[in-house]
Amino acid sequence: MIGKFTRKINSKNRYYTLFPYRASFLKNIEVVTLVCFVLAGFLPAVLFNKSLIENGMLIAIGFNLCAIGCYYLRYFYPSALLFTISVFIVCFSILLQGEHPLYMWFATVPMLSIFLLPLKDAVVFVVLFVLGFLYVGSIYHKHSLRTLIYYFTNLGVFIYVFSVASYILKRIIEENFLNIIEVSVKDPLTGAFNRYGISDFIKDEIEKAKRYDYPISVIMLDINDFKKVNDTFGHCKGDEVLRRVSEVVMKNIRTCDKFVRWGGEEFIIVCPHVDLRKALKIAEKLRKCIEDCDCGGVRVTASFGVAEIDISKEFDEAIKRADDALYLSKRKGKNRVSAYLSSDIT
């Protein structure tokens, strides 16, 4: 039971690690709101003798402090839940006190719920807030049905506008965030990953390979005589060749493989669950595809070096082995595939 609960929390936590700004926003809004609870909520309530708000603020401050504690323990989802509950408590203490001028606090419920929680959870919180508002209005304040309808209509429109606006703003932020990430991890010319974009994948994949005992291979390829293409046809044609070769490679590898522009006309492919023998077959297939490819009237070939990653060593060691194998392909006449073996290069 505890294990299942922990797995669910970890799954929900990924909502915040997937977009790091979510966790950062959560931390900052919790700290800022804590200050607001004290200065704009608790102290004025004590000063003007608003006991229900005063007690509500004290409880909300306690929840907020727990939320901050959960955040620093990296339990982001429980932190967001506790914080959202603290805002609920403030709103309902205002509602119970009957302080209509303070209903502006209600605007924070849809906005913070949608910004801080997964969408389904946010919708649940907003619905509960509306139902709680109706319950308090009908039972505690004993409003007539006509008054309840009036309040509900205004509150419903109010929440709908703020919810939609918050959702749209969140989508815009996250789409821009994804664009920024893509620009930072991918080569703009070829669409392949750059070195920065592959680093986390390599670390994670090697850790999984150690845990589940499966092979990973790396294929290094270099476009032969690429300098001649630039010198003969110009750099624009050279860029076209790089784009076309990249398209051919990406079309003929698996979605789980990572294609990386390593530098200039040199690329690598990281292939999880692939041993050296299978990697050689993949490299040979790619070699033939590139050889048969028409790059805007220019024909090019590529040389390949293949190595299986030793997961007990650094990834750079595998790159060096693949590079040695690539150098062997160049020495043997180019447009061929060579493998790095533990005893020798063949």
Residue 345, pLDDT score: 45
Q: Is the pLDDT confidence value at 261 over 90?
A: yes
Reading the block at residue 322, the tokens are 């693949």
Pick the more confident residue, 136 or 212.
212
**Range(s) for CATH 3.30.70.270 in the chain?**
195-339
Per the CB < 8 A criterion, the answer to whether 230 and 264 are in contact is: no
Q: In sequence order, what are the residues at sequence separation of 6 or more whose Cβ sits closer than 8 angstroms to the Cβ of residue 251?
A: none
Nearest to 41 by CA among 68, 69, 64: 64
Under the banding of pLDDT at 50, 70 and 90, the label for residue 135 is confident
For 226-256, what is the HEC assignment?
A: HHHHHHHHCHHHHHHHHHHHHHHHHHCCCCC
Per the CB < 8 A criterion, the answer to whether 206 and 315 are in contact is: yes
User: What does the chain come to in residues?
Assistant: 346
Reading the block at residue 179, the tokens are 């664009």
Distance of alpha carbon 61 from alpha carbon 37, whole angstroms:
7
Q: What is the mean pLDDT of the chain?
A: 88
Q: Give the β-pairing of 302-308 and 337-339.
A: parallel
Residue 101, pLDDT score: 66
Q: Which residues, listed in sequence order, are joined to residue 271 by a DSSP beta bridge?
A: 217
Q: What one-letter code names the amino acid at 314?
A: E
Q: Give just the sign of the alpha carbon dihedral 16, 17, 19, 25.
A: positive
Residue 346, pLDDT score: 45
Q: What is the pLDDT of residues 166-180, one digit of tens each?
A: 889 888 888 888 888
Q: Is the pLDDT confidence value at 223 over 90?
A: yes
Distance of alpha carbon 315 from alpha carbon 206, whole angstroms:
9
Kindly report the number of other CB atoms within 10 A of residue 117's CB atom: 23
Q: Which of 148-152, 298-302, 321-325, 340-344 has the lowest mean pLDDT?
A: 340-344
What's the rounded mean pLDDT across residues 250-278?
Answer: 95
Q: In sequence order, what are the residues at sequence separation of 6 or more whose Cβ sits closer than 8 angstroms to the Cβ of residue 317?
A: 310
Q: What is the pLDDT of residues 30-67, one digit of tens each?
A: 999 999 999 988 999 999 999 999 999 999 999 999 99
Distance of alpha carbon 23 from alpha carbon 35, whole angstroms:
19
Per the CB < 8 A criterion, the answer to whether 197 and 260 are in contact is: yes
For 80-131, what is the HEC assignment?
A: HHHHHHHHHHHHHHHHHHCCHHHHHHHHHHHHHHHHHCCHHHHHHHHHHHHH
* 188-198 b/e (C-beta count within 10 Å ≥ 16 → b): eebebbbeebb
Q: Which top CATH class is 195-339?
A: alpha beta
Q: Is the pLDDT confidence value at 299 over 80?
A: yes
